[in-house]
Amino acid sequence: MTMELTRTDAASGETYGFELTEEHRRLREQVRDFADTVVAPAAYDYDTRRSLPYEIIAQMGEMGLFGLPFPVEYGGQGKDYLSLCLAVEQLGRVDQSIGVTLEAGVGLGVMPVFRNGTEAQKRQWLPMLTSGEALAGFGLTEADAGSDAAGTKTTAELRDGEWVINGTKQFITNSGSEITRLVTITAVTGESTRIDGSIKKELSAILVPVPTPGFVQGPAYDKVGWHTSDTHPLTLTDVHVPEANLLGERGRGYANFLQTLDEGRVAFAALCTGAAQGCLDEAVRYAKSRNVFGRAIGSNQYIAFKIARMQARVHSARLAYYDACFKLMAGRPFKLEASIAKLVGSEAAMDNARDASQVFGGYGFLNENPVARHYRDSKILEIGEGTTEVQLMIISRALGFDD
């Protein structure tokens, strides 16, 4: 799809456009072809075995997908953020697990180091991460912490030039694979007392190489969907890393992560759009080929209208993430647009998965059918990288409503 739309920024009055360059179109078609010919045929097998297909990840690395939005000097491709989003969308169309491996690998693995790392940290970690040779995760979520930073219980104490980390994390993507080499951990590095007597936690981000003594990845989760994606709980017991492994300014760990998360939501919305598109593609194909009572089921207005609504959802979701992405790349505020894109995209994916399964009838209930996998996978899209409720909170605050 070629986007040649414009929008006027309400605050500045400036006009900017949504237009894919020829380079964007070539990349989109390249990744689409790879998704159709390499990822899709293997998806059911790897989903059943619940294993990350390292040979496919290696091919993605060779294509430069993990380095798309990063400078060439760090092993990247020197492309823009839209290039990443287009790649994620095409992969998510046929296999959300592979799509999120790229999205999280870049957004949560590489981006924090690129945005907040020292030059030495960038030189050490970015080349192996942008090449796809290694994966990195971001350890934020805990049993009582995630969106609520105050609930963080993991601690990091500075002793004799080393951080000593203790705590647990959960639901951490790309944290326990065979090629995971780094996990960034958020931890309490100090406390202060506010004027009212309450305690304010100082949260910082610290780079933990993998393996490191005391850092243990628990067994992979038995998830409803995203079976191919690598997700583990983590335990850190007296983990020692150098003081120089502090990522960014001390006490700014959570604030910096929120900035990274805003960017990540744009790519996550692209993943959602891809999932919604994949369901639409399958429903259209089946409705045209499945004959009942002497005619294709798509000739029934009820089915045709259901699929028409699926198309409308995909279109809206794509426009929403394009809007957020173009504002991001233009250096304009995009936090609100990122939340809207994530909200609209995740609901489009979930609704399209449900409707596509209905179009397929009994065949839509078989795990070998892509729409059945999308049905299982899409629920987490309404939860991961900020739940639907968190997005609604952000949007409502932008409208002037207090919690």
Tell me: pLDDT of 332 over 60.
yes
pLDDT above 80: residue 50: yes
Q: What is the pLDDT of residue 4?
A: 43
Longest CA–CA separation in the chain, Å: 80
Residue 260: its pLDDT value, please? 87
Say whether pLDDT at 29 is over 90.
yes
Answer yes or no: is pLDDT of 67 > 70.
yes
- Helix (H) or strand (E) segment spanning residue 6: strand 5-8
Average pLDDT, the chain: 94
Query: pLDDT for 226-259, tens place per residue?
Result: 999 999 999 999 999 999 999 999 999 888 988 8
Q: CA end-to-end span of the chain, whole Å? A: 39
Q: What local confidence, expressed as pLDDT, does residue 144 receive? A: 86
Are 135 and 181 in contact by the 8 Å Cβ rule? The answer is yes
332, two tokens:
């304009």
* Amino acid at position 375, single letter: Y
Residue 291 pLDDT > 80, yes or no? yes
Q: Which residue from 176, 182, 110, 186 is spatially nearest to 145, judged by alpha carbons? A: 186
Q: Determine which of 113-122, 252-261, 269-278 has the lowest per-residue pLDDT on average.
A: 252-261
Catalytic-labelled residue, pool 89, 382, 385, 389 = 385
List, for residues 122-170, the tens digit of each pLDDT value.
999 999 999 999 999 999 999 988 777 778 999 999 999 999 999 999 9
Q: 106 — phi, psi (to 5°)?
A: -85, -55
Number of other CB atoms surrounding residue 365 within 10 Å: 12
- Centre a 10 Å sphere on the Cβ of residue 401 and count the other Cβ atoms it contains: 9
Q: What pLDDT, on the 0 to 100 scale, is given for residue 296?
A: 95
- The DSSP bridge pattern shows strands 199-209 and 291-292 to be unpaired
249 an active-site residue? no
> Residues near 20 by Cβ (< 8 Å), separated by ≥ 6?
1, 2, 3, 28, 82, 86
Residues forming a β-bridge with 156: 165
Q: Which of 136, 143, 246, 262 is nearest to 202 (CA)?
A: 246
User: 178 pLDDT band (50/70/90 cuts)?
Assistant: very high
Cβ atoms of residues 204 and 254 within 8 Å: no
Residue 2 — very low, low, confident or very high, per pLDDT cuts 50/70/90? very low
Q: How many C-beta neighbours within 10 Å does residue 42 have?
A: 16
List of domains in the chain = 5-135 (1.10.540.10), 137-251 (2.40.110.10), 255-398 (1.20.140.10)
How far CA 70 is from CA of 64, 85, 267, in Å, comes to 10, 13, 15
Radius of gyration of the chain (CA): 22
C-alpha 112/C-alpha 138 separation (Å) is 9
The stretch 18-34 carries a mean pLDDT of 95
pLDDT over threshold 60, residue 11: no
With CA atoms as reference, report the closest residue to 185 among 157, 200, 204, 171: 204
Provide mean pLDDT across the span 75-103: 98
- Asked if pLDDT for residue 197 goes beyond 70, the answer is no
| The pLDDT of residue 5 | 47
Report the C-alpha gap between 5 and 119 in whole angstroms. 39
Burial category of 232 from C-beta neighbours within 10 Å (exposed 0-12, middle 13-18, buried 19 and up): buried
Look at residues 99, 96, 107 and name the one whose alpha carbon lies nearest to residue 137: 107
Q: Over 70: is that where the pLDDT of 95 sits?
A: yes
* Per-residue model confidence (pLDDT) at position 3: 42
Cβ distance 173 to 137 under 8 Å? yes
Identity at 199, one-letter amino acid code? I
